[in-house]
Amino acid sequence: LIELDREHLVHPVISWRGHEETGATVLEKAQGVFVTDSAGHESLDAFAGLWCVNVGYGHESIVEVAAEQMRRLPYATGYFHFSSEPAIRLATRLAELAPGDLNHAFFTLGGSDAVDSAVKLVRAYYNFTDQPEKKHFISLKRGYHGSSSVGSGLTALPVFHEGFDLPLPWQHYISSPYPYRHPEGEDPERVIRDSVAELESKVAELGADKVAAFIAEPIQGSGGVIVPPTGWLKAMRDACHRLDILFIADEVITGFGRTGPMFACEGEEITPDIMTLAKGLTAGYSPMGAVLLSEPFYRTIADNAKANAPVGHGFTYSGHPVSAAVGLEVLRLYTEGGILANGQRSAERFSQRLGELAEHPLVGDVRSRGLLAGIELVTDKTEKTKPPQELGIAKHLAKHGYANGVIFRAFADDVIGLAPPLSITLDEVDLMAERLTKTLNDILD
Ligand code: PMP
SS (H, E, C) the chain: CHHHHHHHCCCCCCHHHHHHHHCCCCEEEEEECEEEECCCCEEEECCHHHHCCCCCECCHHHHHHHHHHHHHCCCCCCCCCCCCHHHHHHHHHHHHHCCCCEEEEEEECCHHHHHHHHHHHHHHHHHHCCCCCCCEEEEEECCCCCCCHHHHHHCECHHHCCCCCCCCCCEEEECCCCHHHCCCCCCHHHHHHHHHHHHHHHHHHHCHHHEEEEEECCCECCCCCECCCCCHHHHHHHHHHHCCCEEEEECCCCCCCCCCCCCHHHHCCCCCCEEEECHHHCCCCCCCEEEEEEHHHHHHHHHHHHHCCCCCCCCCCCCCHHHHHHHHHHHHHHHCCCHHHHHHHHHHHHHHHHHHHCCCCCEEEEEEECCEEEEEECCECCCCECCCHHHCHHHHHHHHHHHCCEECEEECCCEEEECCCCCCCHHHHHHHHHHHHHHHHHHHC
Residue 280: name the closest of 89, 97, 153, 143 by CA. Answer: 97
How do residues 293-323 score in pLDDT, each as one tens digit?
999 999 999 888 877 777 889 999 999 999 9
Q: Please report the pLDDT score of residue 15 as a whole number.
A: 64
Q: Is the CB of 419 under 6 A from ligand 1?
A: no
Query: Does 263 lie in the same domain as 354?
Result: no
Q: Is the CB of 287 under 6 A from ligand 1?
A: no
Residue 240: name the closest of 274, 266, 269 by CA. Answer: 274
Note whether residue 17 is domain-resident: yes
Q: Is the CB of 48 under 6 A from ligand 1?
A: no
Note whether residue 436 is domain-resident: no
Under 8 Å between Cβ of 330 and 55: yes
Q: Is the CB of 221 under 6 A from ligand 1?
A: yes
Q: What atom of ligand 1 comes closest to residue 143's alpha carbon? A: 3
Note whether residue 445 is domain-resident: no
Domain boundary pick from 292, 316, 335: 335
Report the CATH number at residue 32.
Answer: 3.90.1150.10
Residue 356 predicted with pLDDT over 90: yes
Quickly count: other Cβ atoms within 10 Å of residue 298's Cβ: 21
Query: Does 298 lie in the same domain as 239?
Result: yes
Query: Does 164 lie in the same domain as 119?
Result: yes
pLDDT band at 20; cut points 50, 70, 90: low
Query: Does 178 lie in the same domain as 310?
Result: yes
Q: Is the CB of 145 under 6 A from ligand 1?
A: yes
Note whether residue 428 is domain-resident: no
Q: Please report the pLDDT score of residue 390 as a whole number.
A: 81
Query: Does 351 lie in the same domain as 299?
Result: no
Note whether residue 225 is domain-resident: yes
Entry pTM: 0.97
Q: Which residues have C-beta within 8 Å of that of residue 147, sequence separation ≥ 6? A: 112, 160
Q: Is the CB of 375 under 6 A from ligand 1?
A: no
* Stronger pLDDT, 368 or 302, i.e. the higher one: 368
Number of independent structural domains in the chain: 2
Angle at 436 between CA 433 and CA 439, to 5 degrees: 150
Note whether residue 378 is domain-resident: no
Average pLDDT of the segment spanning 171-193: 96
Average confidence score pLDDT of the chain: 95
Q: What atom of ligand 1 comes closest to residue 113's alpha carbon? A: 16
Residue of 109, 279, 282, 317 with the most ligand 1 atoms within 8 Å of its CB, for mutation: 279
Query: Does 110 lie in the same domain as 182?
Result: yes
pLDDT band at 104; cut points 50, 70, 90: very high
Query: Does 235 lie in the same domain as 111?
Result: yes
- Bridge partner list, 380: 385
Under 8 Å between Cβ of 310 and 120: no
Average pLDDT of the segment spanning 40-52: 98
How close is the Cα of 444 to the center of ligand 1, in Å?
A: 33
Note whether residue 128 is domain-resident: yes
Residue 17 predicted with pLDDT over 60: no
Query: Does 142 lie in the same domain as 40?
Result: no
How close is the Cα of 184 to the center of ligand 1, in Å?
A: 31
How close is the Cα of 286 to the center of ligand 1, in Å?
A: 15
How do residues 232-266 score in pLDDT, each as one tens digit?
999 999 999 999 999 999 999 999 999 999 999 99
Query: Does 86 lie in the same domain as 224?
Result: yes
Q: Is the CB of 112 under 6 A from ligand 1?
A: yes
Relative to beta strand 246-250, strand 274-277 is parallel
Range of the domain at 196: 63-335
Q: What atom of ligand 1 comes closest to residue 287's alpha carbon? A: 15
Q: Is the CB of 111 under 6 A from ligand 1?
A: yes
Query: Does 52 lie in the same domain as 26?
Result: yes
Average pLDDT of the segment spanning 226-230: 97
Q: Please report the pLDDT score of residue 21 as a whole number.
A: 61
CA 125 to each of CA 107, 120, 314: distance values in angstroms, whole numbers, following the listed order = 18, 9, 16
Residue of 11, 50, 52, 112 with the most ligand 1 atoms within 8 Å of its CB, for mutation: 112
Q: Is the CB of 34 under 6 A from ligand 1?
A: no
Query: Does 97 lie in the same domain as 44?
Result: no
Q: Is the CB of 226 under 6 A from ligand 1?
A: no
Q: Which residues have C-beta within 8 Å of that of residue 442, sequence separation ≥ 6? A: 400, 404
Average pLDDT of the segment spanning 184-197: 96
Query: Does 193 lie in the same domain as 54?
Result: no
Note whether residue 321 is domain-resident: yes
Residue of 51, 145, 317 with the most ligand 1 atoms within 8 Å of its CB, for mutation: 145
How do residues 73-97 score in pLDDT, each as one tens digit?
999 988 888 999 999 999 999 999 9
Residue of 117, 148, 253, 256 with the most ligand 1 atoms within 8 Å of its CB, for mutation: 253
Average pLDDT of the segment spanning 214-236: 97
Scored b (16 or more CB within 10 A) or e, 118-145 reads bbbbbbbbbbbeeeeebbbbbbbebbbb
Residue 439 predicted with pLDDT over 60: yes
Q: What atom of ligand 1 comes closest to residue 109's alpha carbon? A: 15
Q: Please report the pLDDT score of residue 14 as a whole number.
A: 73
Q: Is the CB of 217 under 6 A from ligand 1?
A: yes
How close is the Cα of 30 to the center of ligand 1, in Å?
A: 23
Q: Which residues have C-beta within 8 Å of that of residue 17, sequence separation ≥ 6? A: none
Report the CATH number at residue 200.
Answer: 3.40.640.10
The fraction of the chain above a pLDDT of 90, given in percent, is 86
Average pLDDT of the segment spanning 414-427: 97
Average pLDDT of the segment spanning 354-380: 96
How close is the Cα of 442 to the center of ligand 1, in Å?
A: 32
* Stronger pLDDT, 46 or 389, i.e. the higher one: 46
